[in-house]
Chains A and B, each alone.
Chain A
Amino acid sequence: MGEVICLLEMRGIDKRFGAVVALKNASLTVKEGEIAALAGSNGSGKSTMVKVLAGLVAPNGGEIFIDGKKVEIKSGTDSVKEGFATAFQDLSLIPTMSVKDNILLGCELKTKGGFVDEKESRKVVQELLDRFHIDCDPDDYVQTLMPSTQSMLEVAKAVFRKPKFLLLDEVTASLHYDEIETLFGIMRELKAEGVSMVYVTHRMNEIFQICDTITIMRSSETITSGQVSDFTLDDIVYYMTGAKPKHHEGTGEVSAEDYTDRELVVDIQNLSIAPKVKDISMKAYRGEIVGIGGLEGQGQSEVIRAILGAVKKDGGSISYLGKPTKYKAPADGVKAGIGFVSGERNNEAMFPIRTISENIFAGNSAKGKLFKFLTSKEVKKFSQDAVDTYNIKIGKLKDPASSLSGGNQQKLVVARWIAMKPNLLLLDDPTKGVDIHSRQEIHDIIRDCAANGMTVIISASDTEELMDISERIYVFYEGEVAAMLAGENKTPEHLVSAMMGIKSSEKEVE
Chain B
Amino acid sequence: MSDKSINRDFFSRLNLFIQTHTALMAVFIAIILLIATFIVSPSSLNKVFFGNIILLTIILSIPAAGQTMVLIGGGMDFGVGAVMSATAILTTYTMRGQNGHFLQVFFIAIAIGAVVGLINGICSVKIGLPAMIVTMAIANIVTRMQYILTDGVLSGSASPALAATVSYRIFGVIPAIVMYAAIIWPITFFILNKSRYGKQLYMVGNNPTAAGLTGVKVDKIRIISYVFSGVLAAFAGILGAAYMATARCQIFDGYAYDSLIAVIIGGTTFAGGTGSYAGSIAGSLVMILLSNLLTSFNLPSPMRNILNAVILILLLMLYNRSKSVRQ
Contact = CB atoms under 8 A, between A and B. Distances in A.
B143 interface: no
B203 A331 contact: no
A366 B211 contact: yes
Given A351-B273, A353-B206, A354-B203, A342 B195 contact: no
A371 B210 contact: no
A114 interface: no
A346 interface: yes
Contacts of B197: 370-371
Contact of A365 (B196, B213, B324): B196
Interface stretch (A102-110, A333-341, A494-502): A333-341
Interface string B214-235: 1111000000100000000000
B207 A351 contact: yes
A350 B210 contact: yes
Nearest to A341: B213
Contacts of B214: 330, 334, 340, 349, 362-363, 366, 416
A329 interface: yes
A177 interface: no
B190 interface: yes
B274 interface: yes
Interface in B201-259: 202-203, 206-207, 209-217, 224
B200 interface: yes
Nearest to A329: B217
Interface in A263-279: none
Contacts, number: 102
B196 A368 contact: yes
B194 A330 contact: no
Chain B: interface size category: 20 to 34
B202 A374 contact: no
B82 to A, nearest CB: 27
B327 interface: yes
Contact of A362 (B203, B274, B324): B203
Contacts of B215: 330-331, 333-335, 363, 366-367
Nearest to A338: B215
Interface in A360-411: 361-363, 365-376
A329 B215 CA distance: 8
A331 B217 contact: yes
B212 A330 contact: yes
A135 interface: no
Contacts of A362: 199, 203, 211, 214
B209 A347 contact: yes
B326 interface: yes
B125 to A, nearest CB: 14
Nearest to A379: B199
A369 B211 CA distance: 16
Contact of B213 (A349, A353, A374, A375): A349
B37 to A, nearest CB: 35
Contacts of A342: 210, 213
A354 B163 CA distance: 42
Nearest to B215: A334
Contact of B196 (A334, A351, A372): A372
B191 interface: yes
A340 B214 CA distance: 7
Contacts of B274: 353-354
B273 A354 contact: yes
Given A334-B214, A347-B209, A366 B273 contact: no
A310 interface: yes
Nearest to B269: A353
A373 B324 CA distance: 29
A263 B185 CA distance: 51
B73 to A, nearest CB: 13
B207 A365 contact: no
Given A352-B206, A358-B199, A373 B213 contact: no
A90 interface: no
A367 B210 CA distance: 14
B195 A351 contact: no
A349 B327 CA distance: 13
Contacts of B207: 347, 350-352
Contacts of B203: 351, 354, 358, 362, 365-366
A354 B214 CA distance: 15
Interface string B290-308: 0000000000000000000
A503 B217 CA distance: 43
B195 A370 contact: yes
Contact of A349 (B199, B200, B210, B273): B210
Contacts of A358: 199, 202-203
Contacts of A416: 214
Contacts of A372: 195-196
A398 B194 CA distance: 15
A308 interface: yes
B213 A348 contact: yes
Interface in B258-304: 273-274
A412 to B, nearest CB: 12
A464 to B, nearest CB: 26
A351 to B, nearest CB: 4
A348 B209 contact: yes
Nearest to A332: B215
A416 B274 CA distance: 21
Contacts of B195: 370-374
A346 B194 CA distance: 26
A179 B275 CA distance: 53
Contacts of B327: 346
A457 B312 CA distance: 54
Given A368-B196, A370-B197, A354 B216 contact: no
Nearest to B216: A366
B199 A361 contact: yes
Contacts of A346: 326-327
Interface string A18-50: 000000000000000000000000000000000
A373 B190 contact: yes
Contacts of B190: 373
* A329, A334, A347, A366 pick with most chain B CB within 10 angstroms: A366
Contacts of B213: 308, 310, 330, 340, 342, 348-349
Contacts of A353: 206, 273-274, 324
Contacts of A351: 202-203, 206-207, 210-211, 273
A335 B213 CA distance: 12
Nearest to A417: B214
Contacts of B273: 351, 353-354
A342 B213 CA distance: 9
A367 B200 CA distance: 10
Contacts of A329: 212, 217
A351 B326 CA distance: 10
Contacts of A365: 196, 199-200, 203, 216
12 contacts: A331-B217, A340-B213, A342-B210, A347-B326, A349-B213, A351-B206, A358-B203, A363-B214, A369-B196, A370-B195, A375-B194, A416-B214
Interface of B: 190-191, 194-197, 199-200, 202-203, 206-207, 209-217, 224, 273-274, 324, 326-327
Q: Rank and list the top 6 A-B pairs by shortest CB-CB distance, nearest first.
A: A334-B215, A365-B199, A366-B215, A351-B206, A370-B197, A366-B216
Given A334-B215, A342-B210, A376-B194, 4 more contacts: A335-B215, A349-B210, A352-B206, A353-B273
